[in-house]
Amino acid sequence: MPELKWLKSSYSEASGNACVEVSKNGALIALRDSKRPELPWATVGREAWGRFTGALANGQLR
């Protein structure tokens, strides 16, 4: 697997308390806790990720 390029979520707190990072990896989106990058990370399909982030943007999830 190629080295992943992680991007910190724009919703992460500036103080570093809630830091989520994502990485595009082909058909998958990888997710990890930036405070603990040595821990295992999770993956979801791009379609599911799009539905999730769309629901967040539309205020459907709180």
Instruction: Determine the residue type at 47.
Output: E
Average pLDDT, integer, range 43-58: 93
Task: Kindly report, residue by residue over 33-48, the tens digit of the pLDDT.
Answer: 988 889 999 999 999 9
- Tokens linked to 9: 């979520």
d(CA 48, CA 1) in angstroms, rounded, equals 22
Instruction: Enter the pTM of the model.
Output: 0.74
pLDDT confidence tier of residue 6, bands split at 50, 70 and 90: very high
Torsion of CA 28, 2, 33, 17, to 10 degrees: -110
As to burial, measured by CB atoms within 10 angstroms (0-12 exposed, 13-18 middle, 19+ buried), residue 9 is middle
